[in-house]
Structure 1
Amino acid sequence: MQPDNWSAAPADRASGEGFERFLDRVVTAEQMRAIEGSLFEAGMPVAALMEKVAGRIAAWVVDRFPRQHYPRVAVVGGPGHNGGDGLVVARELFALGYSVQVCSPASRPKPLTADHLRYGEYLGIQTFQRIGDLAPCDLLIDGLFGFGLERPVEGAMADVVAAINALDCPVVSIDLPSGLHTDTGAALGAAVRAAHTLCLGLWKQAFCQDEALTYSGQSHLIGFDIPAQAVAAVLESAPAVRRTTPATVRAKLPLPRQPDTHKYRVGQLLLVAGSRPYAGATLLSALGARASGVGMLTLAVPESLRLMVLAQMPEALVVGCPETDQGAIARFPDDLDLGRYGAIACGPGLSRHAMAPVQAVLDSSAPLLLDADGLNLLAELGCGDTLPSRAAPTVLTPHRGEFERLFPGQLAAQGTAGAAAQAAAGQTGAVVLLKGACTAIAHPQGHLWYVPESTPALARGGSGDVLTGLIGGLLAQKIAGAENPLAMALDAALVGAWWHGQAARAAAADRTELGVDGFHLAQYLNPVLAQVLA
């Protein structure tokens, strides 16, 4: 059930003591320049660093693309040090018996890159200036441009990129696919479409942007022994931006449970969902909540759905609510005490006719997750006026369309999903989970996390309903006895989003990207977690 690219980032095992705490950090181009600059100021020769980096890349290539299957390698080297990295890789692969050829399209490479080019020619590596002169190859290594590119790729270099993309062989990009902006992940004119990208040292922000996924292929972190103090000097005073990892999830799961616990100690969730037109959303969100392990699950549904839901979820308490003429929940029964629940999740399948229950959960003292029509109705109320006054934590889980309704113009104004989520969290005091191929999760105090491991299989109705129930159940468990409820709300969102994505990837590996409907997605949640814990 585990996909081939289950671990998108092999750990930087060769890094010094203390560096491990930075393995999940995400950096901008400016921050990476500062880190590398401090190494050079401390005495690390640029040439020595280039040799180390290229040696790690060559070792990765040999392991993933062995010579007996990929004997012919082409390297495209640009004018800068990214091109120099590629030329050293070419030399190392040539020494290992690969048939290597180099394309160096730049007329004036940097001195160190020019030295490597000249030495490769001395060794007998065929070198061309025009990419069209390369012989057929089994693998191409893209070293045209690295991180920090800011100008559009145009003219002759755009032609080189187009020729790379037209090749019928795997492409491995060094640090970033040539032509991508390091921070936004946007293509600057033309950009290479890689099968694999080897991110060097620390994760660049581009690897957490939806826009980059078309170009980056499978992403891998390649370490080169950055001293922890060099990273700390740049990052420890900066707002933390991180990628969610299996280690993060293990640390934040509501496990292990106390041996003497019982169902009322491990979370009580009220799930408010469904309407006659959207009855299935109730069941899918309930399946997500079931998988979370929450101790007690109560479902508030329109009365007309109560018996159907009870038949499918016999372990849950199902409360039938008075309903509108359109089959939506009109109000909660008088004896339903919202304050008794550890958390409330509200929204899947409600329809736009359920304003009264949404207003009621917003007025409650319980930690609250809003999704789907809960968010659409919140947009009508005005989230900037409604949410800051809530004493309990709130989690919002919009996709981009819902986010735009809640926070008009923020995505365009902020430039990236992460920055937009941070702005929204600061405005509302809520944890904001902005769904996408790379999900961004922002805390009101400025912390930002990305969940970049996902699959197009999730582009299907119902998958978000499963996520709502899963995070809601985790929220109820994490809040129980918590000293910092808002931090626990962030933990629930992080764990739920990562867990949900990994289940989808495992399901897609078994069933293809066409076969992951909401019901089967929920069935993969617990087996995937068992693998993570093992």
Structure 2
Amino acid sequence: MSAGAINPADTAEISFLGQKAAQELDEDLMGPLGFSVDQLMELAGLSVASAIAAEYSITSFPRVLVLAGPGNNGGDGLVAARHLYHFGYIVSCCYPKRTDKQLYKKLVTQCSSLDIPFLEIDEVLAQPLSSQADVVIDSLFGFSFKGTPRPPFDGLIKAMVENDGGSGTVATSSAAPSDGSRNRASDVATVRRPVIVAVDVPSGWDVEQGDVSHSGLSPDMLVSLTSPKFCARYFEGVHHYLGGRFVPPQIVEKYNLKLPEYPGVSQKMKEDVYF
């Protein structure tokens, strides 16, 4: 087994990756195997959007707020924002620390061309999340993150943790609308608080050991990418999905990966059964 690739048991049907292995795997994909970062980001973001649409329909969860960080995880969130718009959701983004890299500038341009609003962080923190969204996508930090979240991201993590006090009930999922139409916010079934969807790694969590800083962030959905990271074993939410249907056989062999088969032509796989 490659260093850092962790299988929970001999009988397990899915593998877990440590931080070092996840970084090396990405380097292999973008090196000898010829993938570009924007290719991987597009596939990851589509997987996230597809998983959200599978569990949280626009009938009951029309408003989506994307919290995007400065790196690739944030890029995944911006790609998901674009796809969710085309799926019919009412999308907004908070992207407080932008970069001059052309890839990210283009993602912002793509979202802006769809009139997806970019909110200032002060706007987001000034009011309860429930007044802004039915689904909040946590794409602040991914598997490369180390240390303690700093401003302005610590405030966004705190808002997700508090999430209107964290005491209200939340719907776990809903049936997809029959006509696929965009729904008005007034048509939404009563939801006491928005659901939190984490992209690959809940922000601020240790990639291998989970919420060791005791931040209290506990997302309702986790969308693992490529292969679950070891911290996914500490996930206690309702829905766990795997996204990233692009792993070549060479990667599977090198990292001794055990991955479930994706159904049909789907870009995501529900993983709840493996935990």
| Same fold by TM-score greater than 0.5 | yes
- 1:32/1:231 Cα in 2 relative to 1: closer, same or farther (>3 Å)? farther
Structure 2 partner of 1:200? 225
1:68: Cα distance to partner?
Answer: 1.2
Does residue 221 (structure 1) correspond to residue 246 (structure 2)? The answer is no
Q: Which residue of 1 aligns with 2:52?
A: 61
Q: Which has the larger radius of gyration?
A: 1
Letter aligned with residue 59 of structure 1: S
Instruction: Name the CA distance, whole Å, in 2 between partners of 1:157 and 1:104.
Output: 10
Contact 1:152 1:189 in 2 (8 A): no
C-alpha deviation, 1:220, in angstroms:
2.3
Distance 1:123 1:166 in 2: 31
- SS of corresponding position for 2:44: helix
Residue matched to 1:94: 85
Distance 1:156 1:89 in 2: 22
Structure 1 residue 187: Cα displacement: 3.7
Which residue among 117, 134, 138 is the counterpart of 1:126?
A: 117
The one-letter code matched in structure 2 to 1:227 is P
CA shift in 2, pair 1:160/1:195, >3 Å: same
Deviation at 1:148, TM superposition (A): 2.4
What amino acid sits opposite 1:30 in the alignment?
Answer: K
Contact 2:218–2:235, Cα closer than 8 Å, also in 1: no
**What is the CA-CA distance between 1:154 and the residue it aligns to?**
2.8
Please give the TM-score of this superposition, normalised by the length of structure 1. 0.38
Q: Which residue is 1:33 aligned to?
A: 23
Cα deviation for residue 197 of structure 1 reads 0.6
Q: Which runs of no fewer than 5 residues in structure 2 stay unpaired?
A: 1-10, 164-192, 261-272
**Inter-partner Cα distance in structure 1 for 2:212 and 2:117:** 31
Q: Residue 197 of structure 1 aligns to which amino acid in structure 2? A: L
Q: Deviation digits for residues 413-449 of structure 1, max 9, x if unmatched?
A: xxxxxxxxxxxxxxxxxxxxxxxxxxxxxxxxxxxxx
Q: Which residue of 2 aligns with 1:178?
A: 203
Preserved contact between residue 51 and residue 241 of structure 2 (Cα < 8 Å): no
| Secondary structure in 1 matching 2:152 | helix
1:114, distance to aligned residue in structure 2 (A):
3.1
What one-letter code is carried by the residue in structure 2 that aligns with 1:123? L
Aligned to 2:167: none
SS class of match (1:155): coil
SS of aligned partner of 1:115 = helix
Per-residue CA distance 1:438-468 (angstroms, 9 max, x = gap) = xxxxxxxxxxxxx984xxxxxxxxxxxxxxx
1:201-220 Cα shifts (integer Å, max 9, x gaps): 11211122xxx346x55422
Other structure's SS at 1:158 match: helix
Q: Which amino acid aligns with 1:69?
A: S
* Structure 1 residues 26-68: Cα deviation after superposition (integer angstroms, max 9, x where no partner): 2111111111211111211111111112112211111111111
Letter in 2 for 1:34: E
Q: Displacement, 1:93?
A: 0.9
Match of 1:70 in 2: 61
Q: Give me the whole-angstrom Cα distance separating, in 2, the residues matched to 1:125 and 1:74.
A: 10
SS state of the match for residue 154, structure 1? coil
Higher normalized contact order (CA 8 Å, seq sep 6+, divided by chain length): 2
Gaps of 5+ in 1: 1-20, 246-450, 454-534
Counterparts of 1:117-196 in structure 2, within 5 Å, are 117-130=108-121, 131-132=124-125, 136-167=132-163, 168-188=193-213, 190=215, 192-196=217-221
Moved over 6 A (4+): none
Q: Which residue identity does 1:24 align to in structure 2?
A: I
Alpha-carbon distance between aligned partners in 1 of 2:78 and 2:212, rounded to the nearest angstrom? 24
Cα RMSD for the two superposed structures: 2.7
* Residue 97 of structure 2, aligned match among 103, 106, 122: 106
2:14 aligned counterpart, secondary structure: coil
Does the Cα contact within 8 Å between 1:153 and 1:188 map onto a contact in 2? Answer: no
CA distance in 2, matches of 1:108, 1:185: 28
